[in-house]
Amino acid sequence: MSLPHAILTALLEKPSSGLELTRRFDKSIGYFWSATHQQIYRELGKLEAHGLIRTLPAEAPARGQKKSYEVLPAGRAELARWAAAAQDPKPLRDTLLLRLRAAAVVGTAGLESDLRRHLELHRRQLAEYQEIEKRDFPPDRDAPEDRLRHLVLRAGIDLETFWTQWLTHALAECAALRPEGG
């Protein structure tokens, strides 16, 4: 149910075409809610059919021109309703954690190299988030909408910090479990 709300959010920030939305998802919302080009276009059609968005009139009719969309009052109301609604946290489902549990019964062969790979991926993501924070959220940028966007980014920074610390610990545990000379 959240993809339509992610699209409504993005369109309220800036009316866009489907292609522009896809690019914006890749640079912002996609860090925490990903969607393919096809999923976005499919949802745009559904949102328009439900009267939550509309296609903006073209400045000059042209064949093959991209359609841009904007949110209608009903779409804004739906997004406000959804944003205010209570929602329980989702249970964590992580394949790496399941694989560690399985390694407890079948052995850790191959696991350490993948833990190191995961650690490197999380370090890179953390560095990217920190660069975005430095670039987009200087101390004087204090408008309410900026503070909320920064809060979302801080969640990403904190999660990546957690994963890098946890993976470092997991690698140390695996090293301690290795037999002497192994």
Region 111-122 average pLDDT: 96
Q: In terms of pTM, does the model score above 0.85?
A: no
Euclidean distance between CA atoms 67 and 80, whole angstroms: 25
State the average pLDDT over residues 60-70.
Answer: 75
Residues 108-128: b if buried by 16+ CB within 10 A, e if exposed:
beebbeebeebbeebeebbee
177-to-62, 110, 145, 158, 181 alpha-carbon distances in Å: 67, 14, 48, 29, 11
pLDDT in tens, 145-164: 899 999 999 999 999 999 99
pLDDT over 70 at 23, yes or no: yes
pLDDT digits (tens, 9 = 90+) for 40-59: 999 999 999 999 999 998 77
CA distance 160 to 98: 19
Distance CA 81, CA 163 (A): 33
